[in-house]
Copies of this chain bind each other. A is one copy, B any other.
Amino acid sequence: MRRFIVVGHRAPTNSDFTLDDLAGGAGRLDVLLRCVTAAFVLSHAIRRDTELLLFLQGPPGPARALRFSGEELRYLNPDERSTGALVRHALLQPPGPERRSTPGIYVADLDRRACYARAAQQGPLIYLKEGAPDLRLASIAAEPNFVLGDDQDLTPEEEAELSAFAPTLLSVGPRSLHTDQCITLVHNELDRREAASRLHS
């Protein structure tokens, strides 16, 4: 299982946004929707071995977490608008503990620290940050959890919170990219390693 955890700094926590203005009025929700596509969409297939957590920090708040489980996902198309409709539907759910919105999409009150703690129990936390050592040269243990910002880097407070879990810092290349592009690059590197290990086993 590969897990991606994306911190959406201004992403809406309720469904009061229009699908016609995802990049403007909806707190750069467009960035997070492209992350869903990059995390799950293959040509004519879905990556079943992947989970994605999106932290929506509002406004209006309180913050919420969306969890996408590749194993169960249905009704996912690659375009931003239809994924935006799935997210809006999830945000119609009342606040509280995790509940399912549509197959493979869950929403819960945000407990970011608990999410990190649960992820860290399953595999290493890897914080993708510009200028860090190269992903291609790094050893990556099974069940990795990649943490990324949206169009904004993690704040110093968010970095401090994450650093309590002793993440490894890695980067995907020399240019400053969008979050979904980073997810595509991580998947490709892991796909290559899996294919190579199948060849040698």
Q: Within the complex, which residue of B42, B44, B82, B151 is in contact with A23, where a contact is CB–CB below 8 Å? A: B82
| A192: B residues at CB distance < 8 A | 173-174
- Is B173 within 8 A of A30, CB to CB? no
Give Cα A173–Cα B176 distance, bound, in whole angstroms.
Answer: 22
- Is A81 within 8 A of B173, CB to CB? no
A104 within 8 A of B: no
Copies of the polypeptide in the assembly: 2
Q: Within the complex, which residue of B77, B173, B187 is in contact with A188, where a contact is CB–CB below 8 Å? A: B173
A184 within 8 A of B: yes
Instruction: Encode A84-95 as 1/0 by CB contact (under 8 A) with B.
Output: 000000000000
Residue on B nearest A185 in the bound complex, by CB: B188
Q: Taking each of A38, A42, A45, A175, which has the highest tally of chain B beta carbons within 10 Å of its own beta carbon?
A: A175
A-B residue pairs in contact (CB < 8 Å), sample of 30: A20-B20, A22-B79, A22-B81, A23-B81, A23-B82, A31-B78, A34-B78, A41-B178, A42-B175, A42-B176, A43-B176, A43-B177, A44-B151, A44-B176, A45-B176, A79-B80, A81-B81, A172-B188, A173-B188, A173-B191, A173-B192, A173-B195, A175-B187, A175-B188, A175-B191, A177-B188, A181-B184, A181-B188, A185-B185, A185-B188
